[in-house]
Amino acid sequence: MSCDSRRPVSKDQFEGTLIGLALGDALGAPFEGGPIERLLWRCIGRTADGKRRWTDDTQMSLDLAASLIANGRIIEDDIAQRFAASYQWRRGYGPGAAKVLKRIRRGMPWRQANRSVFASGSYGNGGAMRAPVIGIYYQHQAEMLEDACQQSAVVTHAHVLAIDGARLIAHATALAVRHREPVQIMSKVMGLRLDRAFERPLALAQQWLCGGHRPSPAEVAKQLGNGISAVASTPTAVFVALRFVHEPFTDMVNFVCEGGGDTDTIAAMSGAIWGAVNGYSALPVASIAQLEQAQMIRNVAASLFARRQAG
């Protein structure tokens, strides 16, 4: 394996990020939540032709990518309209996010809708799960990346912890594009100024990575979290991605699924980071063949890459 180096971003990495995200989402979805959620997904988790369906994580990432392709930058009103238009209950949106999107669709301004369910806004991981798109698009522009994270999250997730979760995932993805070494990526992540709630899980993740400790899925879930909040899932996703970055993608997803909880979103975020490092060409071909609309997602990634290259 090469040592750390700055690499020009490639189309393969854009495709790896988006397909990695969608694959993690679709492979993790059958394991999310408790018995009722799992039973429901057994009924609706396949397309008519037997492909594995993805959930809101991928849908919102595709909407965000489409908005960037159309506008070249983040325009909150446009993102809000795209998110609302794409909403479908069967994609498994969080309960608060579902209400926000339905209200926007009915005409409520997003600036009102995003605080209409929780006065402080949602602290769920819904803003973070789409943040790899921001990370890869703005990977060389740290200031623009910061603004874009805030703008793309706040439309549905106004809470400071949700926005910081989006910043963590976007920066981790951006760093993954340029560096291959987990310990170096982690040390740069530690330099981000995030809310104090992220300090303990990130410090532990760094300690594990630097010390070569290989925690079990249960230990990761217990110590770093496996929940639907940004704090209880984004450090977990970063740790898992870096722990498995030089190992097979499928092993990483199986690890997340064994840890339980919000498996689809944790696997989506770690899948995107893994894909940013290793590219599309390293992803498992057999799993891609089973993925809903894989070619369409790949095309979106290629268009986003072209938009980025065009400046």
**With binding defined as CB under 6 A, does residue 126 bind ligand AR6?**
yes
Question: Which part of the chain contacts ligand AR6 (CB under 6 A), choosing from 90-98, 147-155, 239-247, 284-292?
Answer: 90-98
Residues binding ligand AR6: number (CB under 6 A): 21
Six-digit token pair at 304?
A: 């986003």
Measured at the alpha carbon of residue 42, what is the angle toward residues 103 and 269, in degrees to the nearest 5?
A: 60
Binding to ligand AR6, residues 19-48 (CB under 6 A):
none
Q: Out of 82, 159, 167, 308, name the contact with ligand AR6 by CB under 6 A.
A: 159
Question: Which part of the chain contacts ligand AR6 (CB under 6 A), choosing from 2-10, 41-49, 62-70, 89-97?
Answer: 89-97
Measured at the alpha carbon of residue 55, what is the angle toward residues 103 and 258, in degrees to the nearest 5?
A: 130
Any residues with CB less than 8 A from the CB of 157 and at least 6 apart, and which? 97, 114, 121, 122, 123, 124, 126, 127, 163, 166, 230
Nearest residue to Mg ion, scored by beta-carbon proximity? 265
Any residues with CB less than 8 A from the CB of 261 and at least 6 apart, and which? 32, 33, 221, 225, 226, 227, 228, 232, 233
Comparing CB distances to ligand AR6, the nearer of 67 and 263 is 263
Give the one entry of ligand AR6, Mg ion, none that residue 96 binds, where binding means its C-beta sits below a cut-off of 5 to 8 angstroms depending on kind: ligand AR6
Residue 228: which of 161, 158, 146, 154 has the closest Cα?
161
Q: Out of 20, 52, 54, 56, name the contact with ligand AR6 by CB under 6 A.
A: 56
Residues found near ligand AR6 in the complex (CB under 6 A): 55-57, 92-97, 118, 120, 122-126, 129, 159, 228, 262, 265
